[in-house]
Structure 1
Amino acid sequence: MNPPGLLFRPFRIVAAALLLTILGMVGWVGPAQAQSCAISAVPMAFGAYNPLTKAAVNTTATVTTTCTALIIAGTYSIAIGAGQGATPATRYLDNNGNRLNYQIYTDAARTRVAGDGVAGTSMVTGTIAPLVGLITASRTDTLYGTIAGGQSAVPGSYGDTIILQLTY
């Protein structure tokens, strides 16, 4: 005959192990990191620029950060490269050697130059809200572009390539 309680002892061990597993899934057993994150961007398109009007041309572009993990919570930053310019402060669009100066900003007021956080530039930063389960979470940020008015320009297509670097 088994002593009283012997039949229930293995159940208690399993219940404790199950409780630790559940606590681990909701993040109580330690900080969780996103397992993978990626960014995608919609190209910034300025449209037509008329140097005779002396008016600036403004546009926007979106950058989407997507992270996948069992538990997602945390911050990220996106550094915005200088493109063809030597620094973010000297960005330009090129058309076979003809240039149009332009700038990318991280705020709608167009006061914070987008860059890598160095020399007065700002990175895009954000937080992915805490979520539980094998899921994917996304957040979209906006970049603001301006071509200053009053620049001489020859007709044609102008372009630049900007590298975005995600840190999470």
Structure 2
Amino acid sequence: MIYIQDQLAVRLTLPKRWLLAGLCVAYGASAVAATATGVMSVSATVASTCVVGTSTLGFGSVSSAAIQAGNVDATGTVTVNCTTGSSYTIALATGGGLGATLASRKMTSGANLLNYSIYTSAARSTVWGDGTLASATMAGTGSGTSQSVVAYGRIFSGQTVPAGAYTDTVTVTVAY
């Protein structure tokens, strides 16, 4: 046997020896190596969220005579940004004026009151509130971008009020 190995070694040139050595290593390594596979679970939960913003519902500068003569109308905006596909409703509270209701909110200037309300449409026929006492909420579905909803305000005619800076704060609640 030694003679045959020596004879084989003599017949192989140097490049053939390298090739033979490489084949032995490659086939020897694959015969020893093994593989195993598994499954990795991947998951994510996207939480439903909403962010709300508002603009001022500003009636501007009006005279007492103008208020006595007719309604004074203005608009503001409620902006909602909810997760895509999330249903939401927007409710408005009564405000902070003494004796305020959804139908007759109260702006104050010291002890003086100026009655107004906020509606869901330009027709100003449905009070925007919390869904009670004939008021309505505004509903929508999130798009993942800001969506604006117009708030239609009205100071009621026939009021006699002294000059002053009248203000109120209405809480906006988005349920989703």
Measure, in 2, the Cα distance between the counterparts of 1:139 and 1:77.
12
Matched, 1:52 2:60: no
CA-to-partner distance for each residue in 1:50-80, whole Å, 9 max, x for gaps? 2323121111111111235xxx212111110
Tell me whether 1:118 sits opposite 2:132 in the alignment: yes
CA distance in 1, matches of 2:113, 2:62: 12
Helix, strand or coil at the partner of 2:146: strand
User: 69, 94, 100: which is aligned to 1:82?
Assistant: 94
Q: Give the aligned residue type for 2:162.
A: V
Equivalences, count: 141
Identity percentage over the alignment? 33
SS in 2 for 1:52: helix
By how many angstroms is 1:137 displaced? 2.2
For residues 127 and 111 of structure 1, the distance between their equivalents in structure 2, rounded to whole angstroms, comes to 24
Q: Pairwise CA RMSD of aligned residues?
A: 2.4
Q: CA deviation at 1:33?
A: 4.7
The structure whose residues are more often strand, as a share, is 1
Q: Which residue of 1 aligns with 2:78?
A: 63
Amino acid of the structure 2 residue aligned with 1:155: A
- Aligned partner of 1:139: which letter? Q
Paired residue type of 2:134? G
- Matched residue, 2:156: 148
Give me the whole-angstrom Cα distance separating, in 2, the residues matched to 1:49 and 1:149.
Answer: 12
How far apart are 1:96 and its partner, in Å? 1.0
Conservation of the 8 A alpha-carbon contact between 2:129 and 2:137 = yes
For residues 86 and 58 of structure 1, the distance between their equivalents in structure 2, rounded to whole angstroms, comes to: 19
CA apart distance, 1:82: 0.2
More helix by share: 2
Unaligned residue ranges in structure 2 (runs of 5+): 1-29
Provide the TM-score with structure 2 as the length reference: 0.70
- Mapped to 1, the partners of 2:117 and 2:153 lie a distance apart of 6
Structure number with greater Rg is 2
Matches of 1:86 and 1:93, distance apart in 2: 9
